[in-house]
Amino acid sequence: MHPAYSVIFFTTASGAGYGLLAMLGTFAAFGLVPPDPWFGAVAFALALGAIAFGLVSSTFHLGHPERAWRAYSQWRTSWLSREGVAATLTFVPAGLFAFGWMFVGENGGIWGALGLVVAAAAAATVYCTAMIYAALKTIRAWNHGIVTRLYLALAVLTGSLWYNALAWLFGHVSPFAPLVVIIALSYGFWLKRRYWMYIDGTHAASTVATATGLAGLGPVRLLDAPNTQENFVQEEMGYRIARAHATKLRRYAFFLLFAIPAALVLIGMEASLWLGLPCAVLAALSASFGVVIERWLFFAEAKHVVTLYYGADAA
């Protein structure tokens, strides 16, 4: 699939924003962060700003952005529509939670319960985003249960890394934020490794023979190309990436998204402010770049079955 940057930035930025919202709601509900209004203002601005940036960037992938509102009407059958509904509804409890934190000066009690609602709504929205791709049976690399878990894990990872950086900045450091980061790092790496093993090690379910219904007649191949120049379908769904290039980018994604943040967070856990703060910020920035590379590969390595009709051997 063609890796459109508008969609890549949408899924990565909104994922980090919802992950940060979930961290704020969960940590507040369990009394692990004081209701510091300045901390809350910066944290909510960063989370909601990332979500808004992601939503706006996604409209650049639409042929008619002015018609985006129509997607809300298809929530019964479309995961894209459900994502839009969930994203919109999340702003309601998030706004109330932010009001209680910054203006009432409370983030526990009833406000903490509201924070758990925010965390659940954020998780539901990320799940809907993942299901947009996981529900597509025509793309083998996406039609797998691991995709939804991976999207959720990486949202928690990037969100918790930015929460940890803000906690260092405002002096609200605790062992719980780095613990969440390490758990998310470990689980995210395990899932990503399994995902890459899955797309590399399993045989494609569809071939030219199965697509044409001629599998029982022996080898099947195209006699001639269906067109003389590339069309929209080939440009969007027939993207190809060299194996060596993909391997190199996987290595970059591993180091930026998992290895470097893990090392920096572990160093920061036992460091003073002058070392812990830059380590936390660098860890968050590294993961943010790493998840963009990971998401680019997520699209570039996926093959749509329609490519069988344009010369692909399998998909």
Mean pLDDT across the stretch 84-103?
94
In-domain check, residue 104: yes
Q: Does any domain span residue 315?
A: no
* pLDDT value of position 307: 82
pLDDT at 72 over 80: no
Helices (runs of H) and strands (runs of E) counted in the chain: 11, 0
Tokens of 75: 């929530």
Helix (H, G, I), strand (E, B) or coil at 139: strand
What type of residue is 264?
L
What is the model's pLDDT at position 186? 97
Which residues have CB under 8 Å from 290's CB, separation 6+?
A: 252, 253, 254, 255, 256, 257, 258, 260, 261
> What DSSP letter does each residue of 274-311 carry, written as one string?
HHHHHHHHHHHHHHHHHHHHHHHHHHHT--BGGGGGGT
User: How far is Cα 125 from Cα 50, in angstroms, rounded to an integer?
Assistant: 14
**Is 231 inside a domain boundary?**
yes
Dist CA 44 CA 33 (whole Å):
14
| Least confident range of 45-49, 63-67, 192-196 | 63-67
Q: Is residue 73 part of a domain?
A: yes
Query: CATH code at 58?
Result: 1.20.1630.10
H or E element that contains 87: helix 79-99
- Burial label for 226, CB within 10 Å (0-12, 13-18, 19+), is exposed
- Domain assignment of residue 170, given as a range: 5-310
Question: Which pair of structure tokens corresponds to residue 228?
Answer: 């003389």
What's the pLDDT at 68? 65
φ, ψ dihedrals at 314, nearest 5°? -155, 160
Examine residue 209 and state whether it is found in any structural domain, yes or no: yes
Name the DSSP letter for residue 224.
S
pLDDT for residue 233: 77
What's the rounded Cα separation, in Å, for the pair 306 and 315? 8
Number of domains the chain contains? 1
Question: Cα(52)–Cα(50) distance, rounded to whole angstroms?
Answer: 5
Cα angle 291-295-297, degrees, rounded to a multiple of 5: 120
Residue 39 to residue 115: CA distance in whole angstroms: 15
Asked whether residue 212 is assigned to any structural domain, the reply reads yes
Write down the pLDDT at residue 62.
64
**Alpha carbon distance 277, 262 (integer Å):** 15
Confidence category of residue 203, pLDDT binned at 50, 70, 90? confident
